[in-house]
Amino acid sequence: MTAARTAPGGTWLITPPSDGRLEAALRAQPDVALLDLEDSVPPCDKDTARTVALAHLGAAPVHGATMLGLRVNAPGTVHGLKDLVALAAAGLRDTVVLVPKVESARELELVAQTLRETATGVRVCALIETPRALLRLDDIFASPVLCGVVFGAADYAAATGCRRTSGSLRWARSSIAAAAAAHAIPSIDSPYFDLGDPEGLLRDAQEARDLGFTGKGAIHPDQLPVIRAAFCPTEEEVAQAQAVVSAADRAGGQMVRAGDQMVGPPLVAAARAVLDKAGNDTDPSVHGGTQ
């Protein structure tokens, strides 16, 4: 197994492995289309779902920039072990494997070892969704096999007894985004579960972006345009960044005034990041032309 590259940031669309779901996900062109074997599948159906999911992934049509993925069951469960054995036997390539309930680096390394001999280009990613995991972020994120992290807000809220609100989840979200940045890996925020509230989704996605997440999960294709809009710099942000970079270039990298701001190296670096992001978002190859 090769884990030299990180998983994509951006939009992750998570869907059950039912017939037609993967094709619909691919048409929506997320950065990652992830079939779910965990929460969306009841225990009595997991064996069938596993077979169906791996067949769908193995026979998936050409999918452009979208990377395929699978959320397995927790490795410490019988179905989690079955998932890994079947995944190793399937020999899939360039696949994201999302591991739930991760609380130690060792769990990730066991998954990587299981897949090493038969899978190529697999990105092992951790789903952070328990209080114990929040207390062990540095250990987990330092794992050499880890290629990205996803926050599981619903399980975290259930485990802590907190409400699933912006304020109650801010510490957990900030901690995950900051730790991921420290280890230079992508961080994907939890999906927003109210499909009838696009305004709430937009606010939630904007907050995730402001906290430092590199992307956000979705549970329906209709959520993807809203998430992309939230993570794409606005025209005003691009104009401000251009002004900062231009002023810094004229000043030869020294402290300089740009409008009403005094601009030093950190602000210049942030402005260049905004321009890089804006450049990527206007490139059709990034999101399959859906911007």
- Chain-centroid distance, C-alpha 274: 19
Predicted structure pTM score? 0.84
Residue 252's pLDDT is 67
Contact 215, 186 (CB under 8 A): yes
Q: Which fold has domain 10-231?
A: TIM Barrel (3.20.20)
Show the tokens assigned to 1.
């197994």
Residue 284's pLDDT is 33
Residue 10's pLDDT is 94
Contact 87, 65 (CB under 8 A): no
Q: Which residues contact 6 (CB under 8 A, 6 or more apart)?
A: 123, 147, 148, 184, 185, 186
Interior angle at CA 69, CA 102 and CA 178, nearest 5: 45
Domain residue limits, the chain: 10-231, 235-287
Residue 258's pLDDT is 61
**Cα 44 to Cα 38, 53, 161, 185, 211, distances in angstroms:** 12, 15, 28, 35, 39
Other Cβ atoms closer than 10 A to 166: 12
Write down the residue that tokens 């510490």 correspond to: 171
Residue 68's pLDDT is 94
> What are the pLDDT tens digits along the chain (291 aa)?
434 468 888 999 999 998 889 999 999 999 999 999 999 999 999 999 999 999 999 888 767 789 999 999 999 999 999 999 999 999 888 899 999 999 999 999 999 999 988 878 899 999 999 999 999 999 999 999 999 999 999 999 999 999 999 999 999 999 999 999 999 999 999 999 999 999 999 999 999 999 999 999 999 999 999 999 999 877 777 777 777 777 777 766 566 666 666 666 667 777 776 777 777 554 333 333 332
3-state secondary structure string across 25-88: HHHHCCCEEEEECCCCCCHHHHHHHHHHHHHHHHCCCCCCCCEEEEECCCCCCHHHHHHHHHHH
